[in-house]
Amino acid sequence: QSVLTQPPSASGTPGQRVTISCSGSSSNIGSNSVYWYQQLPGTAPKVLIYRNNQRPSGVPDRFSGSKSGTSASLAISGLRSEDEADYYCAAWDDSLSGVVFGGGTKLTVL
Amino acid sequence: EVQLVESGGGLVQPGGSLRLSCAASGFTFSSYAMTWVRQAPGKGLEWVSSISGNGGSTYYADSVKGRFTISRDNSKNTLYLQMNSLRAEDTALYYCAKVAGSCSGGTCLGDFDYWGQGTLVTVSS
């Protein structure tokens, strides 16, 4: 069981908006930044969102992140077939003195 | 261009040891914290260990504490992970990742801006 909780799967049709949730606690999301990673099939993960809602250069503005209390969300608007991937949230955990990941959400574009 | 190239993976028996290496290039290695993250076959990402830029601070997941040691040689631009007392559950693809920004610990350690392609460790008799 992962410290951060994500739905195992999500889906949408091209052009739709989907959101992926990430639930934690006061020791991780509640007091630290949240990061989102995208892992395309057979490749290494890539950072999509850092410090809760910041996008690295090169990441389309279709991807956005938000945080409220002990939960965070990744939103993907204008869904495209190439967005089909696994998505992970991550945060530092003060109690564990380490980084914790969510279990991952497999996004399917129908 | 930032490059991270892992090596040292392979097949090892339970209880055995292995040392992973990650050769870094394209950035001032000593200025950045580094991390190992692993992924068991068909499973999610699991943070393993992180080390500050000067090597003075190290952090470990409970699952590897006391068995794995992270280190770095800034003169060789290389990150290491010494893995002892290996178990079947350590079987995974091990990625090294660069931590973004001037981060020495805490909340910023979750920010991995570059990743290698991984090296596979299989623990089996």
Count CA atoms within 13 Å of residue A90 on its CB side: 29
Query: CA-CA distance, B80 to B100, in Å (whole number)?
Result: 19
Contact between residue B95 and residue B116 where contact means Cβ atoms under 8 Å apart: yes
Asked whether the predicted pLDDT for residue B106 surpasses 90, the reply is no
A53 Cβ under 8 Å from any chain B Cβ: no
Q: What is the pLDDT of residue B102?
A: 83
Distance CA B18, CA B10 (A): 8
Which of B68, B79, B60 shows the shortest CA–CA distance to B18? B68
* Confidence band of A1 (pLDDT split at 50, 70, 90): confident
* Count of pairs with CB atoms under 8 A, one residue in A, one in B: 71
Work out the average pLDDT over A54-73: 97
Confirm or reject contact between A72 and chain B (CB < 8 A). Answer: no
In the predicted model, what is the mean pLDDT of residues B63-79? 98
Task: Check B115 against A46: CB less than 8 A apart.
Answer: yes
SS3 assignment, position B83? strand
pLDDT tens column, B85-104: 999 999 999 999 999 988 87
* Chain A residues with CB-CB distance to B107 below 8 A: 31-33, 91-92
Which of B44, B110, B113 is closest, CB to CB, to A33? B110
What's the Cα-to-Cα distance from A81 to each of A38, A89, B51, rounded to whole Å? 14, 21, 37
pLDDT band at B108 (very low <50, low <70, confident <90, very high): confident
Query: Which pLDDT belongs to residue B120?
Result: 98
pLDDT of residue B104: 74
Q: Which residue has the higher pLDDT, A40 or A1?
A: A40
Instruction: Using a CB–CB cutoff of 8 Å, tell me whether A50 touches chain B.
Output: yes
pLDDT tens digits along A26-62: 999 999 999 999 999 999 999 999 999 999 999 999 9
Contact between chains at B47 and A101 (C-beta distance less than 8 A):
yes
Give me the residues paired with residue B57 across strands.
Answer: none
